[in-house]
């Protein structure tokens, strides 16, 4: 078990290295020059050359990458070119917690709404309930999140004035304030997941409910809710955990749009603006951070299987 | 009440050979009356306190006035810092007045003496004296790293400190652009920063700005907000009225409009043209905006075929249907630009330009005549690079393409992202592009750096010794009508040789909630909160 975990960690480091090389090369291959963006439209050729030298952008690419890597692993993430922000503080202390909060609330919301809806449509299979849930699920998966976000803002924020339409309040400072500010963004980001979880729960549960042991449980005279929520639902844990792990990438992707629409200062916004501004250091930090997150979650998912399914426990 | 127009004073004095002391005394008295009768009663009735939150839509690069390249940054910087001079607007004309300077004397055409206000301190407690002014001017002129605004002070020869509050600047030539160069907003070169803070923060000054302005910098959280707080020691009596100001950094304009309507922000630093009617119809907010000192154009790469052909360029210049462009690309909010010089440039802009026969406009017959004279008579394919940038994104390109088709030019529209667009523009890797020069208040800055032979901003790569000569001459002429004549001649050459096809002078908008009072609009894309209060 320990050996397996260690192997996974080593794999992870290798994956992260590949990811950082790939993102660095892609960004350097793309046209666009951070210095030209920094200087705006009013600058002289001398100012341009001086800045290029100052930022070390006249060095060979390999040197630039190795410099970055050396500093990065020793905890010196550097300073962003344009804003002169400390990248570690910006990326890790400020931006990442916002995205994690958004992702956690969205996942929570997806599970809390998705599972019961899925159970409902499985139990009431082929009824209006089921059809309704199916329509909801289909719409949810098909709806683009940026549009949904703007729609929610207009209806709940502007028309009814129920929820704030922007801003981030750290829930660890003010939990209810944080929740209140997070409701619309979390709903926007999680709609896709709610829909996916509804369909997953329904499909799994329909299959499970046809199993002999369910019939046996019913025959033993166990109450209907116990049969569904205890015997049936236990089987959903595995696919659910798998899908959360696999879909984390989609979630982080969706966070970019959601963060922009709701003006949340998260990692998604950070990476997009850094790519547009050719802030190499910030992009690298962001990519490595999210890749680590992705890999760690999948590692956690792998490690969680034996706990969820006794058959997978090593003997 | 009479406003003092220093440019005019400069000009009249030189033209009429008046005793300069007499003129300056008159100026001083005028300033005093302004202060006494204008400001005092308003201050007495104004409320104090309050926290304003403004949605900042455009990119802010740094809060270091000497290094920023973005107007959105100037909007914030101008609330933290002051210049030697400032821009004043009375609803009709733009003038330049002393800001940190108490008086501005002209000893002769090239020697300017500024007497500074007494007792002004920076937010870090250090005094704003002649030494600090000298430090700031030198930081722009010859600092290391080089400031992108250094050219604005290249004619500055000597800086002499006469006493702790008096500084004498000597220029190598009479310098008509001076009022713009030395103001703290669009000019940037004349913004005074705390020497102690620059020494303390070095390259990180832009994250820790320390000025003399009505607001102190508190914090800047990336992609989140910039916080300012009241400077209780501000030198203008009774100002500022607000306690705090937050610039909420928002990228999505429609979210900002929603936040405005939901009352979560009290204003917007900009309003994209597609949202103007929506905001205009909202009773809870006031839209501020007039045609500012800018012009938009379709640029042609004169360095290579096909647009190295002057007749083909002329054909393009006459083929653009400006009325359609104004309607389709600018939502009917802009006005037609016949030449680059724009309405706020009082004395240089001709309000009758439409009927003057000068400049470019739509005349398809004329365009076809020029097209017939072009070297290449076959169908010409030209790369038009466009990007989702600027005030109207790709709308111009899409509207212009069919107009070019009418004169046998097939525009190959290439959509690229902004960073690539900037790089290709600077490298001259395009046939056609559209662009805008904005927030200019003087004809020199609106014409010369943009079209000077070999200049870094001369993206079409056009060159005309005659144009250069006229602009260089005009730089040292202080008499406004005479100077205007030189610039008009320069413009005529530019318009005739057509490295660009003129399109529009645009309004630049600000939005403030009706709760906000006391905002003074200045047509230079500024959002000064000095006199603003919130009820």
CA distance A269 to chain B (A): 7
pLDDT band at B33 (very low <50, low <70, confident <90, very high): very low
End-to-end CA distance of chain B: 28
Question: Predicted ipTM?
Answer: 0.78
Task: Inform me whether the pLDDT recorded for B39 exceeds 60.
Answer: no
Report the 10 Å Cβ neighbour count for A265: 22
| Residue A309 burial by Cβ neighbours in a 10 Å radius (0-12, 13-18, 19+) | middle
Task: Tell me the percentage of chain B whose pLDDT exceeds 70.
Answer: 90
Cβ contact, residue pair A276, B261, below 8 Å:
no
3-state secondary structure of B303: coil
- pLDDT value, residue B247: 96
Partner-chain residue, chosen from B207, B221, B457, that has the shortest CB–CB distance to A41: B457
pLDDT band at B90 (very low <50, low <70, confident <90, very high): confident
- pLDDT value, residue B52: 95
Partner-chain residue, chosen from B148, B150, B259, that has the shortest CB–CB distance to A39: B148
**List of chain A residues whose C-beta atoms are within 8 Å of the C-beta of residue B264:** 157, 164-167
Residue A232 tokens, joined: 């049936």
- pLDDT value, residue B40: 35
- Hey, which residues 28-67 in chain B have their CB within 8 Å of chain A? 61-62
Task: Inform me whether the pLDDT recorded for B489 exceeds 90.
Answer: yes
Cβ contact, residue pair A44, B259, below 8 Å:
no
- Give the residue range(s) of CATH 1.10.3720.10 domains in chain A: 89-312
Choose from A294-303, B27-36, B321-330 the range with maximum mean pLDDT. B321-330
Q: In which region does residue B530 sit, left (phi positive, over 0), alpha (psi from -120 to 50) or beta (all else)?
A: alpha
Element (H, E) at B403: helix B395-405
- Angle, helices A267-276 vs A280-308, to 10°: value is 150
Q: What is the CATH number of domain A89-312?
A: 1.10.3720.10
The tens digit of pLDDT for each residue in B265-322 reads 999 999 988 899 899 999 999 999 889 999 999 999 999 999 999 999 999 999 999 9
Residue A161 contacts B where some CB pair is shorter than 8 Å: yes
Neighbouring residues of B444: CB distance < 8 A, sequence distance ≥ 6: B176, B177, B180, B471, B474, B475, B487
CA distance A158 to chain B (A): 5
- pLDDT value, residue A40: 59
Q: Dihedral through CA B120, CA B125, CA B128, CA B132, nearest 10?
A: -170
Q: Which segments of B154-231 are extended strands (E)? A: 156-163, 166-171, 191-192, 215-221, 225-230
Task: Tell me the percentage of chain B whose pLDDT exceeds 90.
Answer: 64
**List of chain B residues whose C-beta atoms are within 8 Å of the C-beta of residue A38:** 61, 69
Averaged pLDDT, B92-113: 88
The tens digit of pLDDT for each residue in B157-168 reads 999 999 999 999
* CA separation for the pair B86, B262 (Å, rounded): 35
- Hey, which residues 255-294 in chain A have their CB within 8 Å of chain B? 260-263, 265-266, 269-270, 273, 276-278
Q: Are B529 and B230 in contact (CB under 8 A)?
A: no
Neighbouring residues of A114: CB distance < 8 A, sequence distance ≥ 6: A193, A194, A195, A196, A197, A198, A201
| Per-residue pLDDT tens digits of chain A, which is 315 residues long | 678 778 877 887 888 888 888 888 887 777 777 777 666 555 667 777 877 887 778 888 888 888 888 888 888 888 887 667 788 888 888 899 999 999 999 999 999 999 999 988 888 888 888 888 888 888 888 888 888 888 999 899 888 888 888 888 888 888 898 889 999 999 999 988 888 899 899 998 888 888 888 888 888 888 888 888 888 888 888 888 888 888 877 888 888 889 988 989 999 888 888 887 778 888 888 888 888 888 888 888 888 887 877 777 766
Residue B353 tokens, joined: 């330009």
* CA separation for the pair B49, B152 (Å, rounded): 38
Cβ contact, residue pair B258, A82, below 8 Å:
no
pLDDT band at B367 (very low <50, low <70, confident <90, very high): very high
- pLDDT value, residue B36: 34
- Closest residue of A to B450, CA-based? A42
Residue A126 contacts B where some CB pair is shorter than 8 Å: no
| Residue A311 burial by Cβ neighbours in a 10 Å radius (0-12, 13-18, 19+) | exposed
* CA separation for the pair B5, B85 (Å, rounded): 12
Q: Are B84 and B190 in contact (CB under 8 A)?
A: yes
Q: For residue A79, give the DSSP letter.
A: B
Q: How many Cα atoms within 13 Å fall on the side-chain side of residue B279?
A: 29
Cβ contact, residue pair A32, B422, below 8 Å:
yes
The tens digit of pLDDT for each residue in B54-69 reads 999 988 888 999 988 7
Q: List, as own/partner pairs, every contact residues B16-25 make where C-beta atoms lie below 8 angstroms and the sequence separation is at least 24, other chains included.
A: B20/B105, B20/B106, B20/B107, B24/B103, B24/B105, B24/B106
**List of chain A residues whose C-beta atoms are within 8 Å of the C-beta of residue B422:** 32-33, 36-37
Residue A165 contacts B where some CB pair is shorter than 8 Å: yes
Residue B416 tokens, joined: 């690229």
pLDDT band at B27 (very low <50, low <70, confident <90, very high): very low
Q: Quick one: which of B91, B82, B271, B119 has its CA closest to B193?
A: B82
Select from A34, A39, A42, A92 the residue whose CB has the most chain B CBs within 10 Å, as the one to mutate to test that interface.
A42
Cβ contact, residue pair B419, A37, below 8 Å:
yes
Select from B55, B60, B258 the residue whose CB has the most chain A CBs within 10 Å, as the one to mutate to test that interface.
B258
Averaged pLDDT, B211-229: 93
CA-to-CA dists, residue B35 to A149, B96, B117, angstroms: 50, 16, 14
CA distance A72 to chain B (A): 20
- Hey, which residues 387-426 in chain B have their CB within 8 Å of chain A? 417-420, 422-424, 426
Q: Quick one: which of B437, B327, B313, B431 has its CA closest to B375?
A: B313
Residue B381 contacts A where some CB pair is shorter than 8 Å: no
Residue B348 tokens, joined: 């240089």
Partner-chain residue, chosen from A47, A54, A83, that has the shortest CB–CB distance to B61: A83
Residue A38 contacts B where some CB pair is shorter than 8 Å: yes
Longest dimension (CA), chain B: 72
Indicate the average pLDDT of chain B: 87
CA distance B479 to chain A (A): 27
Element (H, E) at B87: strand B85-89
The tens digit of pLDDT for each residue in A159-180 reads 888 888 888 888 888 889 888 9
Give the lowest-confidence range in B95-99, B469-473, B498-502.
Answer: B95-99
| Residue A223 burial by Cβ neighbours in a 10 Å radius (0-12, 13-18, 19+) | exposed
Q: Dihedral through CA B44, CA B47, CA B51, CA B57, nearest 10?
A: -70
CA distance B472 to chain A (A): 19
- pLDDT value, residue A210: 87
Element (H, E) at B108: strand B101-108
Task: Inform me whether the pLDDT recorded for B382 exceeds 90.
Answer: yes
Q: Quick one: which of A277, A38, A80, A276 has its CA closest to B146?
A: A38
CA distance A148 to chain B (A): 12
Averaged pLDDT, B464-485: 93
- Closest residue of A to B188, CA-based? A42
Cβ contact, residue pair A150, B259, below 8 Å:
no
Backbone angles phi, psi at A139, to 5 degrees: -60, -45
Residue A170 contacts B where some CB pair is shorter than 8 Å: no
Select from B225, B419, B452 the residue whose CB has the most chain A CBs within 10 Å, as the one to mutate to test that interface.
B419
3-state secondary structure B441-462: CCHHHHHHHHHCCCCCCCCCCC
Q: Are B372 and B361 in contact (CB under 8 A)?
A: no
CA distance A164 to chain B (A): 7
Residue A46 tokens, joined: 């001398």
Q: Are B148 and A42 in contact (CB under 8 A)?
A: yes
Averaged pLDDT, B195-206: 91
- Closest residue of A to B416, CA-based? A31
Residue B150 contacts A where some CB pair is shorter than 8 Å: yes
- pLDDT value, residue B46: 45
* CA separation for the pair B148, B135 (Å, rounded): 17
* CA separation for the pair B102, B32 (Å, rounded): 11
* CA separation for the pair B503, B327 (Å, rounded): 12
Residue B233 contacts A where some CB pair is shorter than 8 Å: no
Q: For residue B152, give the DSSP letter.
A: G
Residue A193 tokens, joined: 């997941």
- Closest residue of B to A81, CA-based? B61
Cβ contact, residue pair B456, A43, below 8 Å:
yes
Give the lowest-confidence range in A2-6, A95-99, B46-50, B455-459.
Answer: B46-50
Averaged pLDDT, B216-226: 91
């Amino acid at each position: 078990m320990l050996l397996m975990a260690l192997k996974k960690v080593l794999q992870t480091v290798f994956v992260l290295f590949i990811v950082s090389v790939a993102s660095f090369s892609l960004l350097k291959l793309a046209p666009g020059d951070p210095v030209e963006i920094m200087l705006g439209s009013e600058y002289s050729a001398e100012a341009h050359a001086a800045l290029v030298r100052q930022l070390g952008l006249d060095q060979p690419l390999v040197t630039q990458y190795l410099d970055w890597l050396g500093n990065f692993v020793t905890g010196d993430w550097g300073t962003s070119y344009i804003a002169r922000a400390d990248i570690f503080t910006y990326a890790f202390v400020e931006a990442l917690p916002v995205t994690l909060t958004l992702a956690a609330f969205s996942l929570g919301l997806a599970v809390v709404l998705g599972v019961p809806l899925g159970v409902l449509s499985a139990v009431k299979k082929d009824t209006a309930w089921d059809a309704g849930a199916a329509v909801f699920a289909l719409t949810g998966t098909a709806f683009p999140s940026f549009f949904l976000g703007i729609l929610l803002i207009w209806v709940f924020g502007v028309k009814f004035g129920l929820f704030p339409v922007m801003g981030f309040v750290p829930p660890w400072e003010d939990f209810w304030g944080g929740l209140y500010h997070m409701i619309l963004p979390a709903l926007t980001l999680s709609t896709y997941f709610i829909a996916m979880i509804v369909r997953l729960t329904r499909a799994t549960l329909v299959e499970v409910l046809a199993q002999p042991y369910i019939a046996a449980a019913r025959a033993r005279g166990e109450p209907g809710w116990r049969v569904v929520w205890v015997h049936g639902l236990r089987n959903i844990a595995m696919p659910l955990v798998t899908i959360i792990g696999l879909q984390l990438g989609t979630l982080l992707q969706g966070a970019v749009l959601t963060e922009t629409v709701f003006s949340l200062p998260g990692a998604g916004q950070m990476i997009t603006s850094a790519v547009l501004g050719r802030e190499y250091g910030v992009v690298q930090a962001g990519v490595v951070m999210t890749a680590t997150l992705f890999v760690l979650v999948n590692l956690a998912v792998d490690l969680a299987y034996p706990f969820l399914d006794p058959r997978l426990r090593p003997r | 009440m009479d406003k003092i127009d220093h440019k005019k004073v400069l000009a009249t004095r030189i033209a009429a050979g008046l005793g300069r002391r007499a003129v300056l005394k008159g100026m001083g008295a005028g300033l005093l009356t302004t202060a006494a009768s204008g400001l005092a009663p308003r201050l007495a009735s104004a409320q104090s306190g309050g926290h304003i939150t403004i949605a900042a839509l455009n990119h802010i690069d740094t809060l270091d006035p000497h290094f920023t390249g973005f107007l959105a940054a100037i909007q914030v910087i101008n609330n933290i810092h002051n210049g030697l001079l400032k821009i004043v607007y009375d609803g009709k004309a733009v003038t330049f007045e002393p800001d940190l300077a108490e008086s501005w004397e002209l000893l002769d055409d090239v020697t300017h003496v500024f007497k500074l206000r007494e007792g002004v301190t920076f937010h870090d407690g250090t005094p704003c004296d002649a030494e600090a002014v000298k430090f700031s001017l030198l930081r722009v002129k010859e600092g290391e790293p080089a400031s992108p605004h250094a050219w604005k002070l290249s004619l500055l020869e000597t800086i002499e400190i006469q006493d702790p509050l008096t500084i004498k600047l000597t220029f190598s030539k009479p310098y008509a652009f001076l009022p713009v160069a030395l103001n703290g907003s669009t000019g940037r070169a004349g913004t005074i920063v705390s020497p102690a803070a620059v020494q303390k923060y070095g390259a990180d000054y832009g994250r820790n700005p320390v000025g003399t302005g009505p607001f102190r910098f508190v914090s800047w959280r990336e992609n989140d907000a910039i916080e300012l707080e009241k400077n209780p020691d501000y030198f203008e009596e009774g100002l500022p009225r607000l306690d705090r100001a937050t610039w909420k950094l928002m990228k999505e304009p429609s979210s900002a409009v929603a936040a405005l309507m939901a009352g979560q922000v009290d204003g917007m630093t900009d309003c994209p043209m597609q949202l103007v009617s929506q905001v205009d119809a909202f009773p809870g907010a006031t839209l501020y905006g007039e045609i500012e000192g800018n012009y938009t154009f379709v640029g042609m790469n004169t360095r290579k075929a096909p647009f190295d052909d002057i007749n083909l360029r002329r054909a393009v210049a006459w083929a653009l249907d400006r009325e359609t462009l104004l309607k389709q690309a600018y939502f009917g909010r802009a006005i037609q630009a016949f030449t680059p010089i724009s309405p706020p440039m009082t004395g240089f802009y001709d309000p009758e330009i439409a009927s003057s026969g000068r400049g470019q406009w739509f005349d398809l017959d004329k365009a076809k005549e020029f097209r017939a004279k072009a070297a290449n008579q076959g169908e010409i394919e030209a790369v038009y690079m466009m990007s989702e940038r600027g005030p109207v994104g790709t709308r111009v390109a899409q509207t212009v393409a069919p107009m070019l088709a009418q004169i046998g030019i097939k525009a190959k529209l290439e959509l690229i992202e902004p960073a690539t667009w900037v790089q290709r523009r600077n490298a001259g890797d395009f046939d056609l592009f559209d662009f805008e020069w904005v927030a200019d208040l003087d004809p020199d800055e609106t014409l010369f750096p943009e079209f000077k032979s070999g200049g870094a901003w001369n993206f079409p790569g056009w060159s005309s010794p005659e144009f250069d000569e006229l602009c260089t001459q005009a730089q040292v002429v202080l008499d406004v009508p005479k100077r205007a004549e030189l610039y008009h001649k320069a413009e005529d050459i530019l318009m005739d040789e057509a490295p660009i096809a003129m399109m529009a002078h645009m309004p630049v908008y600000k939005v403030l909630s009706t709760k906000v009072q006391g905002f003074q609009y200045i047509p230079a894309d500024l959002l000064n909160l000095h006199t603003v209060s919130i009820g």
